Copies of this chain bind each other. A is one copy, B any other.
Amino acid sequence: MRIGIIGSGNVGGTLGKRWASNGHTVFFATRDPESAAIRTLLTESGPTAAAGPLRDAVAHSEIVLLATPWPVTRQMLESAGDFDNRILIDATNPLAPDLSCLECANTISGAESVAQWAPTARVVKAFNTVGNNVMDDSAFSAPVALFYCGDDASAKQTVAPLIRELGFDPIDAGPLSQARVLEPFALLWISLAVKYGFGRDIAFQFLRR
């Protein structure tokens, strides 16, 4: 396929190189095709890669990868010309500059509300990311990750074995504010299980290498 890349940094550069080495024709959008970074990228990508103006990256491609830093995303799209029904793969994330949250995302979580409503409790968020059928029987082909988070280290040390003894791999995701990502993660499980055809016998393994 002919693939245009908008945003030739870590993500766009990596994917463009890999697709080019698989034989796709890759066009990196750039204002400066002679820059050292682009020249290195083209050398590493091989003969099916080229670089040039943003509008050409769209016009010459069947499919476009969007991998821009969030703050420039709107401007880049509005400068890209007509997409004319092309596929646009959006690989961006609307991250706040300090990576602490998404710009259009939660600034509170259920767990943090719970901690306000139970002020003398040491709250640990856990058992919210898979369905009760998985809690009842955690046997999959690989260990199922069970994330937890909280602000009290000793409370988390107490909870982790209660997770492990049910057959899960307990993953400490950090402070209680991490419930802002663990609660949407639950919604991923729920939506796949209930709305998008996967059924309730699904789970996630956490992989490390």
B66 x A88 contact (CB < 8 A): no
Q: Would A183 and B94 be within 8 Å (CB), given that A127-B65, A205-B204 are in contact?
A: yes
Cα(A70)–Cα(B187), bound, Å: 14
- Choose one: B64, B65, B117, B127; the contact of A77 (CB below 8 Å): B117
Which of A35-43, A46-54, A141-149 makes up part of the contact surface? A141-149
Give the chain B neighbours of A141 by CB distance below 8 A: 207, 209
Give the chain B neighbours of A190 by CB distance below 8 A: 93, 95, 99
Q: Would A89 and B126 be within 8 Å (CB), given that A173-B192, A192-B173 are in contact?
A: yes
Give the chain B neighbours of A165 by CB distance below 8 A: 19, 22
The 8 A CB mask of A110-123 against B (1 = contact, 0 = none) is 11011001101111
B124 x A110 contact (CB < 8 A): no
Q: Would A110 and B104 be within 8 Å (CB), given that A124-B90, A192-B173 are in contact?
A: yes
Cα(A142)–Cα(B147), bound, Å: 19
- Residue A33 CB within 8 A of the other chain: no
The 8 A CB mask of A140-182 against B (1 = contact, 0 = none) is 1110110110001001001100100110000111100011111
A207 x B92 contact (CB < 8 A): no
- Interface set of A (CB-CB < 8 Å, partner B): 1, 3, 10-11, 13-15, 18-19, 22, 63-67, 70, 73-74, 77-78, 80, 82-95, 99, 101-106, 108-111, 113-114, 117-118, 120-128, 131-132, 135-136, 139-142, 144-145, 147-148, 152, 155, 158-159, 162, 165-166, 171-174, 178-188, 190-192, 194-196, 198, 201-209
Given A73-B113, A99-B195, A105-B106, 8 extra CB contacts under 8 A = A15-B127, A19-B165, A86-B120, A86-B122, A91-B127, A102-B106, A174-B196, A182-B188
